[in-house]
């Protein structure tokens, strides 16, 4: 199990400094609206409405990784790092 707060994802900005980005609502909404099964929709709902960190199983981490494949590179690597 991994705990991730998607409202506080650390990204590197163009000056190579750490910056905090909030992906919670965008990720939760995407999983909920684009989910291919009930598990993805429920995960999206949990992430969207989370008050802080969300506890994720390995399977749910894979769902998040798959959901962000079309996202911009900087966002993908920051979220991937948070999932590790």
List pLDDT tens digits, range 31-81: 999 999 999 999 999 999 999 999 999 999 999 999 999 999 999 999 999
Assigned token pair, 78: 């920051």
* Nearest by Cα to 7 from 55, 62, 47, 64: 47
13: confidence class by pLDDT, cuts 50, 70, 90: very high
The Cα–Cα gap between 77 and 42 comes to 24
73: exposed, middle or buried (Cβ count in 10 Å: 0-12, 13-18, 19+): exposed
Q: Residue range 16-28: average pLDDT?
A: 97
| Model pLDDT, residue 43 | 98
With beta carbons less than 8 A apart as the criterion, state whether 32 and 48 touch: yes
């Amino acid at each position: 199990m991994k705990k991730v707060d998607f409202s506080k994802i650390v990204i590197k900005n163009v000056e190579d400094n750490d910056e905090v980005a909030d992906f919670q609502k965008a990720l939760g909404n995407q999983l909920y609206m684009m989910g291919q099964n009930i598990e993805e929709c429920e995960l999206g709902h949990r992430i969207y409405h989370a008050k802080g960190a969300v506890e994720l199983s390995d399977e749910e981490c894979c769902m998040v990784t798959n959901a962000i494949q079309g996202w911009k590179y900087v966002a993908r690597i920051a979220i991937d790092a948070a999932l590790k």
